[in-house]
Structure 1
Amino acid sequence: MSKNFPALRALALGVCASLASTAASAYELPSINLGLTTFVDGAPPPAGPGFYLMSYLQPYSADHFKDSKGKDLPFPKSDVRVVPLINQFVYQSNYSVAGAQLGGMLLLPAVLSASLDDGVHGAILGKTGTGMGDPVLGAFLQWNPIMGERGPLFSHRVELDVTLPVGEYDRTLGLNPGAHHTSVEAYWSGTWWASPRWTVSSRVFYLWNGKNSDPLATRFAQYGITEAHNFQPGQAMHANFAADYTLTPQWRVGLAGYWLQQLTETKVNGESLSGSKERVVAFGPGVMYSFSAKDHLVFNHYTETAARNRPEGQRMTLRYIHAFN
């Protein structure tokens, strides 16, 4: 591995996450929920309290890797492609706390395939770069909709999640399913019915990351750090947002997007790494089809822009929701 250009890495999905966050130079944030959840996101589960399975397939590809000023990194060629699969098991109870229903979830991410050409070391593709990622445990409170004369007006939810660093990880690899550090994330999600057919939704997150105590020693050599003993990605805020229109009881169409901003610098050996904050914004169309109150399929496509210290590419999300009750 070159001391000047450490290999890029792709991390598996974090809580309700989005995969295909890659890392080169200052690219150190773990995978997070970028565009996985969109339409009517703050509403209670459509089939009521009970058990749900939510499966997400989110292919990501990028051939632009950005520095802290949004300029392409000076690689002659660069390309990353990652296909993660996430299964999320959700239970909403009838037990009330503060006027809301208590629930919990377990999220199990995996990397099905991953390929990477960082423009310096050539393509990196291997079995060890795929497999199980870091599982996530969460607890939430879901409020029922506030009702008006024409139907629901507003509904919301809060959740706290912890990512457990037990996924597959090898510090010498360019691609890793696991991030090898704990993360704690809280979010608020709300849906507003502008009319019986129009809804606007958002999910806003705050992310805290723990330390990775097993990095490659030369990972940050380009910053003059000859031996990295540990690093800690900075804290960050990010959000998903969506607006949709109900065409029929089965079909919804709309627009969605996501935004990420790292708030504090990444730390290496306890010292802040100047110019390491990440940022990205994305927008795109989406559609949702409801087979019944128990089965729903959502598709979104995103084009990223305004990236800083991250790749900038295309992301698709296919989400299936099934109720067992």
Structure 2
Amino acid sequence: MNNTSAAGGIRRLGPYAVAGLFGLTAAVTPCAALADEGGVSFWLPGNFGSLAATPGVPGWSWATLYIHSDVAAGAGQQFPRGGRVDVGIAGRADLVVFGPTYTFATPFLGGQASVSLFGISGRSEGSAALSLTGPLGNTIGINRTQDLTSYGDVIPQVSLKWNQGVHNFMVYGTGDIPVGDYDPSRLANLGLGHGAIDGGAGYTYFNPQTGNEFSAVAGLTYNFKNTSTQYQNGMDFHVDWGASHFFTKQLQLGVAGYYFQQVTDDFGAPASLGGFRARIAGIGPQIGFLFPVGDMDGYVNVKAYKEFAAEHRPEGWNAWLTFALSPKAPEATAPKPLQRKY
């Protein structure tokens, strides 16, 4: 692939580079206060956003995300969890995701590499209208509600990006280290209870001259077995996308959306539930703002999604607030005129 240098791509983007650095955020644990078997995946749809594949600024940066989610499933829908079947589940969560990213200045395979490590904390609330006795002998419960304020799993992440004029390309890999607060007998958890790996590729079209941008990133998740329940989620396919326009060098407005589809069956679900393949889609508005913070560049982004087309998964809405700091992006410079030699 022929591409411009990483430094040249950053200078071309100028102040937009900090926004591109955080188009990809951490894949976080259950936003709906439900264990993975409860219909919520390791991958939280909406993680990728606008400018996801554009290069970042070399050096250390920091991102903090606040995520609020409110979802529910129909009264008759059944979800396996911890050896039992929950009916009529609902969940609410307020999560904070935080961590550093280091972006390398030296090109790797002709692109720009970065590594991240994210932690999670917050409050999770889950409820079920009815919990039926499962094969592990769990007690039947009616109108159960539980909440938990604690810490979640650790999420490492790597990415590699290439720039070629207005076209940007990326590959990424991430995963779940299951060290978060998890108990299979609870309705509310901040840990998954199992590991996972996820990888994929993305594309961003961005023209700084017009301010128009479109991004799409697709990935695939492999879930390891939950040894506490002997349950293993199937593989998940997901696409996140965003489209926006920079009305000024600071103000960005647009829309964002996602589609999530489980592509292989779960192992361990009750026979009556079949393969229990999940599906969800969402769409909503976004607004971003770039500003200086001392000798750093700051970026704030707010986006919200209304969900639809749910299958074997609760649906509702979620909102994201991102605050990011990175080294100041170099300004684009005009080419020097040729000097005549006498």
Q: Which runs of 4+ in 1 moved over 6 A?
A: 269-273
Question: Are the equivalent residues in 2 in contact too, given 1:36–1:317 (CA < 8 A)?
Answer: no
> Residue 173 of structure 1 aligns with which residue?
186
Q: Select 1:322's aligned residue among 320, 325, 332.
A: 325
Report the counterpart of residue 138 of structure 1 in structure 2.
157
1:11 corresponds to: none
Q: Aligned pair 1:155/2:168, yes or no?
A: yes
Aligned equivalent of 1:8: none
Root-mean-square deviation (Å) = 2.8
Shift of 1:119: 1.9
Q: Is the 2:146–2:186 contact (alpha carbons within 8 Å) kept by the matching residues of 1?
A: no
What secondary structure does 1:57 align onto? strand
State the alpha-carbon separation in 1 of the partners of residues 30 and 302 from structure 2. 16
Relative to total residues, which structure has the larger helix share, 1 or 2?
Answer: 2
Q: Is the 8 A contact 1:17 1:34 kept in 2?
A: no
237 and 42 in structure 1: CA distance in 2 versus 1, 3 angstrom threshold: same
Distance verdict in 2 for CA 1:270–1:101, change over 3 Å: farther
Amino acid at match of 1:162: G
Correspondence 1:53 to 2:75: no
State the AA in 2 paired with 1:55: T
Partner of 1:289: 289
Asked whether the equivalents of residues 72 and 316 of structure 2 are also in contact (C-alpha less than 8 Å), the reply is yes
2 CA distance for matches of 1:16 and 1:253? 24
Q: CA deviation at 1:186?
A: 0.5
Question: Matched residues in 2 for 1:74 and 1:210: separation?
Answer: 22
Q: Is the 8 A contact 1:251 1:287 kept in 2?
A: yes
Which residue is equivalent to 1:299?
Answer: 302
Q: Does the alignment pair 1:116 with 2:119? A: no
C-alpha deviation, 1:203, in angstroms: 1.8
Check conservation: 1:21, 1:310, Cα contact below 8 A.
no
Shift of 1:114: 2.0
Distance in 1 (CA, whole Å) between partners of 2:34 and 2:146 is 16
Unmatched 5+ stretches in structure 1: 1-13, 148-152, 216-229
Q: Secondary structure at the match of 1:234?
A: coil
With normalisation by structure 1, the TM-score equals: 0.79
User: Contact 1:26/1:277 (CA < 8 Å) preserved in 2?
Assistant: no
Report the structure number with the largest CA radius of gyration: 2
Q: CA 1:158/1:119 → structure 2, altered by over 3 Å: closer, same or farther? A: same
Matches within 5 A, 1:5-20: 15-17=26-28, 19-20=30-31
AA matched with 2:143: G
Name the residue aligned to 2:212.
198
AA at the equivalent of 1:135? V
* Change beyond 3 A, Cα 1:82–1:21: closer
**Are 2:100 and 1:89 aligned?**
yes
Q: What is the TM-score when the length of structure 2 is the normalising length?
A: 0.75
Tell me how far apart the structure 1 counterparts of residues 36 and 220 of structure 2 sit (CA, whole Å): 23
**Offset at 1:37?**
3.0
1:37-90 deviation per Cα after TM superposition (whole angstroms, max 9, x unaligned)? 312111112xx101111111110002334849xxxx996x75321111101321
Q: Supply the AA of the counterpart residue of 1:249.
A: K
Alignment length (residue pairs) = 282
Residue 316 (structure 2) pairs with residue 309 (structure 1): no
The aligned amino acid for 2:31 is: A
The whole-number CA distance in structure 2 between the counterparts of 1:122 and 1:240 is: 35
SS of structure 1 residue aligned to 2:73: strand
Amino-acid identity (%)? 21
Alignment pair present for 1:259 and 2:259: yes
